[in-house]
Amino acid sequence: MTTATLETKPMTAEQLILVETDGSVGIIKLNRPKVLNALNPELMTQLAEQLEAFDKDDSIYVIVLAGSERAFAAGADIGDMAECSSLEMYKRDQFATWDRIKRTKKPIVAAVSGYALGGGCELMMLCDVIIASDTSQIGQPEINIGVMPGAGGTQRLTRAVGKATAMDVILTGRFLNAAEALAGGLVSRVVPREHFYSEALRIAHEMARKGPIALRFAKESVLKAHETALSEGLEYERKLFYALFSTEDQKEGMRAFMEKRKPDFKGK
């Protein structure tokens, strides 16, 4: 006689990100503290899914992406890929998840402290406004482990800080401190360590009081500057600028200014 086995409940997926909302700000915290928020494929998938969910949620205007005080993220999970062949890495197509993250329409404020290295730096650069603590150490140290940046580091870092600094960081693996990152235009603002998260949240709320369509279009247009020739980018900017004049928020924003009152944006 066969004994029926008790059906085991599937284990709930590990919470590699923590999600909350604060008014119209959606907050995602990376949550692999033991490995300094190393980015494994599962974490990246959860992150992409949550960003897409916030993008679809009309009550959310701005997103905060935060690491811990010790590490925003110390890179892609080295253990996860150490034994992979080139073909295995190719078949995994992990950058498809990165492409999903890149397509987030709402502005993302990064709250960065401690290490933002390798894929961590690349993830930070996918964010829009970067608030860094004065303890931040930012770099692309892949060269130390026999590889090179793979999620946009050679392109986005170079566009942010210029060729000389990018070569220095990528070829020697050295970390930029917060002051260097700010001077190079890699981060938006540097704040004392104890305030990096509260400041990011405060700035996200400040942005969330603006017209949400204008926020999205403005983000889209700034990103164009990274990816196109100037003439094409200017044309794109002009189209989005005209398009905003078909929104109620534009009328409300300009009328409120004329009437010397605060605008009441509706995202319409």
| Residue 16 burial (C-beta neighbours within 10 Å; 0-12, 13-18, 19+) | middle
| C-beta closer to ligand HXC: residue 158 or 221 | 158
| C-beta closer to ligand HXC: residue 43 or 64 | 43
Query: Segment near ligand HXC (CB under 6 A), from 58-66, 84-92, 113-121, 249-257?
Result: 113-121
Whole-angstrom CA distances from 92 to 41, 82, 180, 198 are 9, 14, 35, 37
122 is catalytic: yes
Q: What is the H or E stretch that residue 21 is in?
A: strand 17-22
> If binding is defined by CB under 6 A, does position 89 make contact with ligand HXC?
no
> If binding is defined by CB under 6 A, does position 76 make contact with ligand HXC?
yes
> If binding is defined by CB under 6 A, does position 111 make contact with ligand HXC?
no
CB of 223 to ligand HXC, least distance (A): 20
> If binding is defined by CB under 6 A, does position 75 make contact with ligand HXC?
yes
> If binding is defined by CB under 6 A, does position 225 make contact with ligand HXC?
no
76 is catalytic: yes
142 is catalytic: yes
Kindly identify the residues of this chain, within the stretch 141-200, that bind ligand HXC according to CB under 6 A.
Answer: 141-142, 144-145, 150-151
CB of 108 to ligand HXC, least distance (A): 18
Number of shown-chain residues binding ligand HXC (CB under 6 A):
19
For residues 62 and 24, the answer to whether their CB atoms sit within 8 Å is yes
For residues 247 and 212, the answer to whether their CB atoms sit within 8 Å is no
Give dist(CA 43, CA 267) in Å, integer.
31
| C-beta closer to ligand HXC: residue 47 or 207 | 47
Kindly identify the residues of this chain, within the stretch 34-73, that bind ligand HXC according to CB under 6 A.
Answer: 35-36, 38
Reduced to 3 states (helix: H, G, I; strand: E, B; else coil), residue 18 is strand
> If binding is defined by CB under 6 A, does position 79 make contact with ligand HXC?
yes
Handedness of CA 46, 52, 58, 62 (dihedral sign): positive
Reduced to 3 states (helix: H, G, I; strand: E, B; else coil), residue 105 is coil
The CA dihedral of 117, 88, 147, 186, to the nearest 10 degrees, is -30
Could you say which of 71, 122, 204, 211 is catalytic?
Answer: 122
CB of 84 to ligand HXC, least distance (A): 11
Give dist(CA 195, CA 210) in Å, integer.
23
Question: Do strands 108-112 and 129-133 pair parallel, antiparallel, or not at all (unpaired)?
Answer: parallel
**Residues with catalytic function:** 76, 119, 122, 142
Q: Residue numbers of the site for ligand HXC (CB under 6 A)?
A: 35-36, 38, 74-79, 115, 117-119, 141-142, 144-145, 150-151
